[in-house]
A and B are shown apart, each in its own frame.
Chain A
Amino acid sequence: MATFVIRRLIASVFVLLAATYLMYNLVALSGDPLKDLRESSAPNKEQLIESRIRLLNLDVAPPLRYFIWFAGVLRGDFGVTVEGRSVNALLEQALGSTIQLVTIATIVAIFLGLLVGITTALRQYSGYDYSVTFVSFLFFSLPIFWVAVLLKQFVAIGFNDFLDDDPQLPMLVIVALTLLSGALWASIIPGEPRRKAVMFGIAAVATAGLLTVMNLTDWFSYPAITIGGVAAMGIGTAFGFTALITGLKNRRALIAALVVAALGIAVYYPFQYNLSFFVTEWWMLLGLAALTALVSGVVGFVVGGVDKGPVVRVAIFTGLTTAFVIALDRFMLVWDDYANSGRVRGRPIATIGASTPNLEGSLWVQGVDIFTHLLLPTLALILISFATYTRYSRASLLEVLNQDYIRTARAKGLSERTVVVRHAFRNALIPIATIVAFDIGGIVGGAVITERVFGWTGMGQLFQNGLARVDPNPVMAFFVVVGGLAILFNLIADLVYAALDPRIRVN
């Protein structure tokens, strides 16, 4: 195993070196780096040209200049840009910004993609399956910059206009959403037409009721989940996770989950109006999440009985979801202050940049600010990768469901839940895990267009500005990071595959 990893790493380093050489020459030869100076009318033109040539060693031919650059990289110095700024500093700032942009988009896309892919595989050839297939083909074919402009127009400007004066959902929207959610649930739930009709009714009534209540309580101006919402979500997820992971017959799991949900409801008021003011740093939020997981795990362990593993898992998932809902409610608490603050002026959804400049406020206000700035680019990124993950997870699960051992599992009388969750789902995840690992390596470089449209000063901008000025140094800094990540995650994908699938041997 170790020799495999080392051999692969050495081979990868050589591949990356060759790729950087190719890339450096392509960039350096793609235009004239002195074009702007040659066309300028500055009196000291010759002098400027001379100084730039000296700054960037332009008198050395690109195939040889590469080695000057490479010697710098070995010392950890990516050189300077055309303007004489240090690429290292630019890179550091750009990488942070891009990682902030793509992390949430990737997580949400993977989660949604898996969820939708799995449900379509389980309901193969249903109306739901066909619609999702069509939609994912549509997403495949969407140019991301086109979607981005549409998002700016309708989600940002349109929604801000909607929020501007007394936001109330129009009746038509409520009816449309009601029918949509009814149809969605009816097509996901299996069974006879009668059962589907009942499901349609329940989903439609629930949606219509929720939207009406939101309208009546002026929810869009003063969003809140309140303790009622937290309780409903907590108890709902307790039942949901129990049904999914152990089945509702496992009373111990259900009790553990409900205890965790009750704990969440109990800390709601103390947290919202007292404890949360002490949370001033992001790591504290992460610490609270870890604490939640720990407490839930302990509850699950104590209640667990003989088969502790699944019970602990149910408890942890329930605890984290409840905690997430409570945190969400806390963010909503400052929404009104944020939206009407002097910097934002009632138009909360931002179209450009990563944060509101000079915004003062607690961690919670900063969080809302990040959310409003991330919303549009994240949506744009999700649309594209969502389609890929849906198709892959659907294909993967269908492949597994046709295996003999699934038939064996069904034949020996296991419930459909056990067959799908324990036998099929886990094995279907193996190929998806490698695809995910592979994709994560590519996303830092894949957000170039999204960054451009939404004005993020990230890796994409580093690349684009460098290329536009025929300046290899920033472009190469971009490429070393992107290519290095791609190669690293490629290796991780192979190792994950070998670790998850005992049939694969690496040597």
Chain B
Amino acid sequence: MSNTLIPEPGHSAPGVTDAENNLELREIEGLSQGQIVRRRFFRHRGALISMVVLAFIVVLAFSSVGLSFSFFGIPIRTPGWWQWTWTQIDPPQDGGRPTLSLIPRFLGGEGLRFGDHPFGQDEVGRDIFAVVMRGTQQSVVIMVVVGLIAVSIGTVIGAVSGYFRGWRDSVLMRFTDIIITIPVIVVGAVVGKAVGNQGAFALAIVLGLFAWTGLARLVRAEVLSLREREFVDAARVAGASNRRIIFKHILPNAIGVIIVNSTLLMAAAILLETALSFLGFGVQSPDTSLGKIISDNQAAFATRPWLFWWPGVFIIAIALCINFIGDGLRDAFDPRQKRLPGARTLAKATRRAKSSA
């Protein structure tokens, strides 16, 4: 007799039989909230694959051509394993055609090889693999920096206005309204024009300063409902300070909203940067970014399509990965989410129930 099949009338969601419900209950028995979330996340196949792909892209981008940035005026360069850098010029061979070949010889292709310029060269002879890797670095930097800044500001503003309410709420929310009225692409273009020539890092910081508004509203709504809960009263009665209640009691419970929306925000940040660079208000020459490569070369599509395909593929790959990870996290954090057991598992459970009855 297994105790997992006790019917629980009234507790099952519509359309879910007791057998299903109990299967699910048994699965999360004795696990902490964090363990349940992690388990659910790793079950989301799309999110898992996306994490691996994203990690691969990041490692590839940062290791292949190395880093190059200036830290308070001191130029810092690290070497990469790739033979070209994104500024090096090698006279174009074969019209700059990509030397990458993935079709094996027995299928009529040229065999597996990378060659000197796997992604091809542009008209002056820069190696497109190196250029695209540099652009990917910029996108990743922008994604992370915008994410960090926007999430910190949005969380704090949302938590403070939701927790204290009253005049602080009014002031902060009207301020949020002011920023939110300006479309992101518009404010991005304006600040991008001002700081675009300072490099991706500066651009990311400024974009982050304007990207927090949506998150602030969501966090505020979440905090408004959480602050009425008993555990907050308990903490207050125990003498916890406001700061402690916000950061130790309320925000950990709002972590789902924060994490899920920060992934969406990061995906949006990548697309925003590429769009700004495309319009000419983002990263400026001599540095490069994925949007800028496409913008520079869109007229050459008919003659040199590879200048156009590769940066696009990397933008889509990164944004798609982030979106899928966000989807996986949303599923993992959603307490109402039910994973429907497969038909076979259900049949087995029913059989077991019958034999034990």
Choose among B178, B181, B295, B320 the residue that contacts A141 (Cβ–Cβ < 8 A): B320
- Whether A145 contacts B183 by the Cβ 8 Å rule is no
Closest B residue, CB atoms, query A446? B183
Kindly specify which of A24-32, A47-55, A183-191, A366-374 makes contact with the partner chain.
A24-32
B183 with A482: CB separation less than 8 A: yes
> Are the CB atoms of A483 and B182 closer together than 8 Å?
yes
Query: Which residues of chain A are within 8 angstroms of B294 by Cβ–Cβ distance?
Result: 143, 145-146, 149
Which residues 244-261 of A have a CB within 8 angstroms of B?
none
- Structural contact, A445 and B312, CB atoms closer than 8 A: no
Q: Is B327 an interface residue (CB 8 A)?
A: yes
Chain A residues within 8 Å of B291, by CB: 143, 145
- B187 lies within 8 A of chain A by Cβ: yes
A483, B177: Cα distance in complex, Å: 11
Q: Within the complex, what minimum Cβ distance (angstroms) separates B135 from chain A?
A: 12
Query: Nearest chain-B residue to A147 (Cβ)?
Result: B312
Proximity string of chain A (188-228) to chain B, C-beta cutoff 8 Å, 1 when within and 0 when not: 00000000000000000000000000000000000000000
> Considering the chains assembled together, what is the distance between the CA atoms of A27 and B186 in angstroms?
10
B26 CB within 8 Å of chain A: no
Cα distance A475–B189 when bound, in Å? 11
Q: B267's closest neighbor in chain A, by CB? A: A141
* Bound: A62/B292 CA distance, A: 31
Instruction: Give the interface segment out of B31-39, B119-127, B272-280.
Output: B272-280
Q: How far is the CA of A449 from the CA of B295 in the complex (A)?
A: 11
Is A487 positioned at the interface, with any CB of B under 8 Å from its CB? yes
Nearest chain B CB to A141's CB is how many angstroms away?
A: 3
- Asked if A468 is at the interface of the complex by the 8 Å CB criterion, the answer is yes
A442 to chain B, nearest CB (A): 7
Checking B185, B190, B302 against A27 with a beta-carbon cut-off of 8 angstroms, the contacting residue is B190
What's the Cα separation between A209 and B178 when bound, in Å? Answer: 57
Residues of A within 8 A of B275 (CB): 143-145, 449
Complex contacts, A14 vs chain B, CB 8 Å: 174
Binary contact readout A139-178 vs B (1 if CB under 8 angstroms, 0 otherwise): 0111111100100110001000000000000000000000
Interface pair B182/A30, CB less than 8 Å apart: no
Query: Which residues of the other chain, A, contact B181 by a CB distance below 8 angstroms?
Result: 15-16, 19, 483, 486-487
List the count of A-B residue pairs having beta carbons below 8 Å apart: 126
Contacts of B186 in A (CB 8 A): 23, 445, 448, 463, 478-479, 482
Q: Within A439-455, which residues are at the interface with B (CB < 8 Å)? A: 442, 445-446, 448-449, 452
The reply to whether A467 and B308 contact each other, CB–CB distance below 8 Å, is no
A126 to chain B: closest CB distance in Å? 12
Residues on A with beta carbons closer than 8 Å to the beta carbon of B189 = 448, 463-464, 467
Binding site of B, secondary structure by majority: helix, strand, loop or mixed? helix
Name which residue of chain B comes closest to A28, CB basis.
Answer: B190
* Segment 302-356 of B: residues with Cβ below 8 Å from A: 302, 308, 312, 315-316, 319-320, 323-324, 327, 340
> Which residue from chain B places its CB closest to the CB of A18 in the assembled complex?
B178
Q: A462 CA to B14 CA in the complex, in Å?
A: 53
- Are A30 and B190 CB-contacts (below 8 A) given A137-B320, A145-B295, A149-B298? yes
- Number of B interface residues in the complex (CB < 8 A): 43
A137-B320, A144-B275, A145-B278 known; A15 and B177 CB under 8 Å? Answer: yes
Please indicate the chain A residues that have their CB under 8 angstroms from the CB of B319 in the complex. Answer: 140-142
Q: A140 contacts which chain B residues (CB < 8 A)?
A: 267, 319, 323
Tell me whether B174 and A15 are in contact (CB under 8 A).
yes
**B60 an interface residue at 8 Å Cβ cutoff?**
no
- Residue B15 CB within 8 A of the other chain: yes
Residues of the B chain whose Cβ atoms lie less than 8 Å from the Cβ of A442: 183
Min CB–CB distance A165 → chain B (angstroms) = 19
User: Looking at the complex, which one of A23, A138, A470 makes contact with B320 (CB distance below 8 Å)?
Assistant: A138
In the complex, which residues 398-442 of chain A have their Cβ closer than 8 Å to any Cβ of chain B?
402-404, 406-407, 442
The contact string, 1 if C-beta is below 8 Å from chain A, for chain B 163-185, is: 00000000000100111011101
Q: What's the nearest-Cβ distance from chain B to residue A39, in Å? A: 16
Is A125 part of the contact surface with B, judged by Cβ < 8 Å?
yes
Assembled-state Cα–Cα distance A478/B185 (Å):
13
Contact of B271 among A31, A141, A406, A448 (CB under 8 A): A141
Q: Within 8 Å CB of A99, what residues of B?
A: none
Interface presence of B194 (CB below 8 A): yes
Instruction: Tell yes or no: B249 within 8 A of A by CB.
Output: no
Which residues of the other chain, B, contact A137 by a CB distance below 8 angstroms? 320, 323-324, 327
B275 and chain A: residue at smallest CB distance: A449
In the complex the two chains form, is A402's CB within 8 Å of B14's CB?
yes
By the criterion CB–CB under 8 Å, are B279 and A26 in contact?
Answer: no
Residues of chain B lying within 8 A (CB to CB) of residue A285? none
* In the complex, residue of chain A having the shortest beta-carbon distance to the beta carbon of B324: A137
List the B side residues contacting A125 at CB < 8 Å.
Answer: 340
In the complex, are the beta carbons of B280 and A26 less than 8 A apart?
no
The B-contacting residues of A in range 456-507, CB under 8 angstroms, are 463-464, 467-468, 470, 475, 478-479, 482-483, 486-487
Residues from chain B with Cβ under 8 Å of A407 in the complex: 14
Nearest residue, chain A, Cβ from B177: A15
Q: Mark A1-40, 1 if CB is under 8 A from B, else 0.
A: 0000000000100111011001100110111000000000
Interface check B281, CB cutoff 8 A: yes
Q: A144-B275, A153-B302, A404-B14 are in contact. Are A449 and B194 (CB under 8 A)?
A: no
Residue of A nearest to B183 (CB): A445
Task: Determine the chain B residues whose CB is within 8 A of the CB of A11 once the complex forms.
Answer: 174
B178 / chain A contacts, CB cutoff of 8 Å: 15, 18-19, 22
Chain B min CB distance to A474 (Å): 13
Asked if residues B193 and A30 are in contact (CB atoms below 8 Å), the reply is yes
Q: A15-B177, A137-B327 are in contact. List 15 more A-B contacts (CB 8 A).
A: A16-B181, A19-B182, A23-B182, A26-B191, A29-B194, A31-B194, A141-B315, A142-B316, A145-B298, A402-B15, A406-B14, A442-B183, A448-B185, A482-B183, A486-B181
24 contacts between A and B (CB under 8 A): A23-B187, A26-B187, A26-B191, A27-B190, A31-B193, A31-B194, A137-B327, A140-B267, A140-B319, A141-B315, A143-B274, A143-B278, A143-B312, A143-B315, A145-B274, A145-B275, A145-B278, A146-B294, A149-B298, A152-B301, A402-B15, A445-B183, A467-B281, A479-B182
> Which 3 pairs, one residue from A and one from B, show the smallest C-beta to C-beta distance?
A141-B319, A30-B194, A141-B320
Residues of B within 8 A of A (CB): 13-15, 46, 174, 177-179, 181-183, 185-187, 189-191, 193-194, 267, 271, 274-275, 278-281, 291, 294-295, 298, 301-302, 308, 312, 315-316, 319-320, 323-324, 327, 340
